[in-house]
């Protein structure tokens, strides 16, 4: 069974979480990491396996990537793996057991450049660690 592929095939965060409930009786939401305006990583634990799954989505909950680990990954290590040339990210990522990409996937490093698209006006946004835009507080 390739859990990452099965979850990615749903193309939707809600549908993927339903699969986790059906197959494993549930999951534990450990983190929701937002990088810029258009990328979300949802980290869940599946006690029945045991496994950790990162479901990467766009801002509409459309799945871009699913990663499965046997150890809990760190947010900044995950981004260091994705964008190794970005000095603001660091850390060692546990071994990836499964990976699946969808039609929504594109290089996430593109979201981190100074020229990255934003729906926020320049005077209302701030640069996030590693890149990407967030609303000024």
Residue 129, domain member (yes or no): no
Residue 13, domain member (yes or no): yes
At 128 the pLDDT is: 94
Average pLDDT, 10 consecutive residues per value, the chain (137 residues): 94 97 96 94 94 95 97 98 97 98 94 90 94 91
Residue 115, domain member (yes or no): no
Residue 117, domain member (yes or no): no
Domain count, the chain: 1
The pTM of the full predicted model, rounded to 2 decimals, is 0.94
Residue 132, domain member (yes or no): no
CB distance 87 to 102 below 8 Å: no
Domain of 90?
Answer: 3-106
């Amino acid at each position: 069974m390739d859990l990452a592929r099965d979850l990615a095939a749903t193309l939707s965060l809600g549908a993927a979480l339903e699969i986790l409930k059906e197959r494993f009786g549930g999951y534990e939401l450990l983190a929701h990491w937002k990088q810029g305006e258009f990328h979300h990583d949802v980290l869940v634990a599946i006690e029945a396996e045991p496994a950790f799954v990162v479901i990467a989505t766009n801002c509409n909950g459309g799945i871009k990537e699913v990663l499965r680990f046997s150890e809990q990954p760190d947010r900044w290590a995950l981004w260091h793996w994705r964008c190794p040339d970005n000095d603001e990210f660091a850390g060692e990522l546990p071994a990836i057991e499964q990976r699946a990409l969808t039609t929504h996937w594109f290089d996430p490093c593109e979201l981190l450049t100074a020229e990255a698209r934003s729906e926020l006006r320049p005077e209302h946004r701030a640069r996030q660690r590693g890149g990407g835009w967030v609303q000024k507080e």
